[in-house]
Amino acid sequence: MDRIQYEDIARPANGEAVSLADGITWLRMPLPFSLNHINLWLLRDGSGWVIVDTGVDTRTSRDVWKDTFAGAMRGDPATHVIATHLHPDHVGCAGWLVQHFGVDLWMTREEYLLCRILVGDTGNEAPDEALRFYRAAGFDDKQLQLYRDNFGMFGRVVGELPQSYRRLQDGDLCSFAGHDWEIIVGRGHSPEHACLYDRTRNVLIAGDQILPTISPNVSVWPTEPRADPLKDWFDSIDRLEAALPDDVLVLPAHGKPFRGVHVRLEQLRKEHKDNLDKLLETASAPRRAVDVFDVLFNSAITDSNRVMAAGEAISHLTYLCNTGEMLAEQDNSGVRYYRRS
């Protein structure tokens, strides 16, 4: 099988699609965020297409999809919709697409179930557990009120998922148009993220598990406050390194396709290890999660990214507590302080 010559292919414009290889089409979907696009993939499947990831559920996304149905998909139907993981830019239009084509949704179980819960939270009040979690992180009353006000945003850009789905599991083989795609599950960025690996053509649909220029968010969330996603993330890097050849063509959800996955995985590992080292260096005095933002992040933390920053800070602090290098103590007002053990 010929190596895919992607190097000659210009990146599609926002809302446009380009054929990357026989039976693999790259659709660049606009996003209404500072990260302004997501790469979606169309895989030929008989006389139809498998849609991998979907964009957020907005009018713009649906308009791009309608153009794509007639354009890149040549009027042929979707045969399945796959969501690599539950984040809104990946799963937002999944419910609409499966309904439009009358097809099934393929996801891993943890992603599907958690996504159903988060969509179901839309319009609810922020739970006490979540407010306690962010108070422990060091949020002040104004920041907690903002969290309350924004709670339940998830479902505003994610359409309702179908009531049943088809489960993807690590090691599954999905065959589309004679090409076998192996499911490799990664963890840490989301609970059970599916990557799709075509060993024969040496190409990987990586979702957010491996990105070329940005480091995927690895966060603790209030639903599981004692989770250790950074450990999961490091374990997944080890697994992906062992499973993938260095020259695999990586098709990431953001940025451009690239080769050299071992170098990139090592960079992602090192970035977090460096942050852990920096946290330890500055941890002689007790600090709250919000006090270590300046250690972990180069850019300013504002109302729009404080929740993500807190999640990422807590994932690093939790990792160090679990390795025994740090200790955490909660004071009488419920605020959690971390220091070197």
Specify the residue, 272 or 336, whose C-beta has the smaller distance to Zn ion. 272
Count interface residues toward Zn ion (CB under 5 A).
Answer: 2
| Window 242-271: residues binding Zn ion (CB under 5 A) | none
Q: Are 40 and 55 in contact (CB under 8 A)?
A: yes
- Binding residue (CB under 5 A) for Zn ion from 53, 111, 208, 232: 208
User: Where are the extended beta strands (E) located within the chain?
Assistant: 17-21, 24-30, 37-45, 48-52, 78-82, 104-108, 166-168, 173-176, 179-186, 193-198, 203-207, 249-252, 326-330, 336-340
Minimal distance, residue 208 CB to Zn ion, in Å: 4
Decide whether 87 or 201 has the Cβ nearer to Zn ion: 87
Nearer to Zn ion, 206 or 317 (CB): 206
Nearest approach, Cβ of residue 308 and Zn ion (Å): 11
Closer to Zn ion by CB, 192 or 208: give it.
Answer: 208
In Å, how far are 53, 60, 68, 129, 229 from 96, measured between CA atoms? 12, 13, 15, 32, 31
Of 53 and 121, nearer to Zn ion (C-beta) is 53
Q: Is 53 in the site for Zn ion (CB under 5 A)?
A: no
Provide the sign of the torsion angle of the four alpha carbons 225, 231, 237, 243, taken in this order: negative
Is the C-alpha dihedral spanning 83, 265, 240, 115 positive or negative? negative
Nearer to Zn ion, 17 or 115 (CB): 115
Mark 157-196 with x for binding to Zn ion (rule: CB under 5 A) and - for no binding.
----------------------------------------
Cβ atoms within 10 Å, residue 137:
25
Taking the complex as a whole, the smallest distance from the CB of residue 221 to Zn ion amounts, in Å, to 13
- Minimum distance from CB of 53 to Zn ion (Å)? 10
CA distance linking residue 28 with residue 9, whole number of Å: 13
Q: Which is nearer to Zn ion, 122 or 215 (CB)?
A: 215
Window contacting Zn ion (CB under 5 A); options: 50-58, 140-148, 207-215, 265-273: 207-215
Q: How far is the CB of 85 from Zn ion (least distance, A)?
A: 6
* Residue 149, phi then psi, degrees to nearest 5: -65, -35
Q: For the chain, how far is it from start to end, CA to CA, in angstroms?
A: 55
Query: Within positions 75 to 114, which residues make up the interface with Zn ion, using CB under 5 A?
Result: 87
Stretches 167-175, 206-214, 290-298, 311-319: which one binds Zn ion (CB under 5 A)? 206-214
| Nearer CB in complex with Zn ion: 138/188 | 188
Q: Contact, 50 vs 43, CB < 8 A?
A: yes
| Minimum distance of Zn ion from residue 114's CB (angstroms) | 12
Q: At what angle do helices 141-150 and 306-322 cross, to 10 degrees?
A: 110
For the record, the structure tokens of 242 come out as 């062992």
Place of tokens 């010559």: 5
**CA 111/CA 127 separation, integer angstroms:** 21
Q: Which residues bind Zn ion (CB under 5 A)?
A: 87, 208
